[in-house]
Amino acid sequence: MNVSNNDLFTRLYSGAARGLAGKSAKVYEELVLRLIYGKYKFGTIIPSAEIVEEFNISRAPLYAALNQLTFEGYIEITPQVGSRVISPTEQQIWDFFQMFALIEKQMARYAAARRSKEDAEAISKICRMVTDVSQPLDAPDEEYIDIVDIYHMAIRKAAHSTLEVRRVSGYFRFAAFLLMNGWPKDFVEVRDNSNLHRPRVTEAIIEGDVEKAGNAVGDYIRYRFVG
């Protein structure tokens, strides 16, 4: 599944949405995906020379992309060393997901109150797809990250709060980045807990139960992201 074909993904992940253009936007988008998919792990030096050669670009577009990633908190630039992926502590990751849970809970409440029939059908279908994709896995892979992201995007779409989704889009992307890089050791337990709680979120949204949806998402994120 190619998440980049998802319209909401395009709006949230594009370099153009961050004021970049041309080669800078293209490099930015590729580096974001590499960070989210865990190809650049915590503490990794970004191979600037290799990227310049790979994209056949000068250093200016690369630096523009790296500066944007620094602004968004993915990397740190150290003089004479280069650009390095951040290495957050467990406490910092926990703090992030505490805040992320509050955002997702509110989105689920909006979705329960505002979802259309088409929204509900899409969330239900994607929920089943996540379970099917995850069940054989012993560790997360790109397809799993993509389909879980699409599930959350379906909820945000059902919330019908475009302005707020755009305002907090950075949280959505950063959550995927931390998830792939800082995954709990026992993925199977987290997978099984997630597959138990995700249908409860879906059911609450379909039923239009606002408080149940918010509480279910809180439980889901605690088991899925924090472990």
Give pLDDT, residue 91.
87
Q: State pTM to two decimals.
A: 0.83
Question: pLDDT tier at 11 (50, 70, 90 boundaries)?
Answer: low
Give pLDDT, residue 4.
43
- Delineate the domains of the chain, giving CATH numbers in brackets: 3-85 (1.10.10.10), 90-226 (1.20.120.530)
HEC states along the chain? CCHHHCHHHHHHHCCHHHCCCHHHHHHHHHHHHHHHCCCCCCCCECCHHHHHHHHCCCHHHHHHHHHHHHHCCCEEEECCCEEEECCCCHHHHHHHHHHHHHHHHHHHHHHHHHCCHHHHHHHHHHHHHHHHHHCCCCCCCHHHHHHHHHHHHHHHHHHCCHHHHHHCHHHHHHHHHHHHHCCCCCHHHHHHHHHHHHHHHHHHHHHCCHHHHHHHHHHHHHHHHHC
pLDDT greater at residue 100 or residue 119 = 119
pLDDT greater at residue 43 or residue 7 = 43
Give pLDDT, residue 56.
94
In tens, the pLDDT along 153-172 reads 899 999 999 888 777 777 88
Give pLDDT, residue 193.
87
Question: pLDDT tier at 5 (50, 70, 90 boundaries)?
Answer: very low
Give pLDDT, residue 172.
81
pLDDT score of 39 more than 70: yes
For 189-212, what is the mean pLDDT?
93
pLDDT score of 184 more than 70: no
pLDDT greater at residue 4 or residue 216 = 216
pLDDT score of 85 more than 70: yes
Give pLDDT, residue 1.
41
